[in-house]
């Protein structure tokens, strides 16, 4: 149905350059999905994942905390929390191949406080006030109202929500929405990508 609608809405008079531009845009958008399905380990070797952990640990303290990582992927954020002595870490990931990759990772061998969970950022499989810290990177933004509502719901009063990164370096709809919800923000340089933005909210349940 989606394919038929796209074909119907596409002009038959596109130039060769316009067709090539569209092809590259499609490849750009499905690139991560192909890596996730074929060989998730490739993702860990990509340059943009090589940022300094201190950039994240300067924003939020993980020690002794119950942490939920949404859209955990290959665990880049999750393992920072583990290394910083989080009490327990829940890596929430909707893709089966990535969950299997995480479960088999040498980094989780012997850990009794690391759990891989199936779930979506807009349907987080935990009860209200479950987490001390909710973290997420390269995930937020498709359904911003629902996603924020779920993150807020599962974070306890006084807890933290950190999007790292949560947006491109742009004053766009995502940025404006997060500011209205009380997030503070800043920039950091993702290797090979350029500047992106982090967002941090200390949750106060009487605020909204």
**Same domain, yes or no: 121 and 167:** yes
| Per-residue confidence (pLDDT) for residue 18, from 0 to 100 | 77
- Same domain membership, residue 104 and residue 173: yes
Examine the domain organization and report whether 169 and 68 are in the same domain. yes
Q: How far apart (Å, rounded) are the C-alpha atoms in residues 160 and 198?
A: 13
Same domain flag for 84 and 8? no
33 or 138, greater pLDDT? 138
Interval 84-88 mean pLDDT: 98
How many structural domains are present in the chain? 2
Give domain status of residue 132, yes or no: yes
Whether residue 208 lies inside any domain: the answer is: no
Q: Is residue 207 part of a domain?
A: no
Name the pLDDT band for 101 (thresholds 50, 70, 90).
Answer: very high
- Do both 138 and 191 map to the same domain? yes
What was the pLDDT predicted at 17? Answer: 82
For 188, phi and psi rounded to 5 degrees? -145, 160
> Do residue 60 and residue 26 come from a single domain?
no
Q: Is there a single domain that holds both residue 21 and residue 98?
A: no
User: What value does the CA radius of gyration of the chain take, rounded to a whole number of Å?
Assistant: 18
3-state secondary structure of 30: helix
Q: Residues 6 or more apart from 53 whose CB is under 8 A from it?
A: 80, 83
Orientation of helix 16-38 relative to helix 96-104, angle to 10°? 40
Same domain, 69 and 23: no
Neighbours of 41 (CB within 10 A): 11
- pLDDT tens-digit profile of 164-184? 999 999 999 999 999 999 999
State the residue range of the domain holding 62: 47-202
**pLDDT given for residue 208 in this prediction:** 55
Residues 76 and 136 in one domain: yes
Residues 110 and 30 in one domain: no
């Amino acid at each position: 149905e989606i394919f038929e609608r796209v074909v119907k809405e596409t002009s038959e008079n596109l130039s060769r350059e316009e067709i090539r531009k569209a092809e590259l845009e499609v490849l750009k958008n499905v690139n991560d999905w192909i890596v996730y399905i074929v060989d998730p380990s490739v993702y860990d070797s990509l340059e943009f994942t090589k940022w300094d952990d201190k950039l994240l640990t300067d924003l939020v303290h993980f020690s002794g905390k119950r942490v939920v990582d949404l859209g955990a992927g290959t665990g880049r954020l999750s393992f920072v929390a583990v290394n910083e002595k989080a009490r327990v870490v829940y890596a929430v990931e909707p893709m089966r191949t990535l969950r299997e990759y995480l479960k088999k990772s040498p980094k989780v061998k012997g850990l009794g406080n690391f759990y891989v969970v199936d779930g979506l950022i807009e349907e987080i499989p935990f009860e209200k006030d479950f987490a001390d810290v909710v973290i997420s990177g390269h995930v937020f933004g498709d359904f911003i109202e629902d996603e924020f509502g779920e993150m807020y719901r599962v974070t306890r009063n006084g807890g933290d929500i950190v999007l790292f990164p949560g947006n491109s370096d742009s004053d766009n709809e995502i940025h404006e929405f997060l500011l209205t919800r009380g997030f503070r923000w800043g920039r950091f340089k993702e290797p090979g990508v350029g500047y992106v933005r982090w967002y941090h909210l200390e949750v106060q349940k009487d605020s909204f």
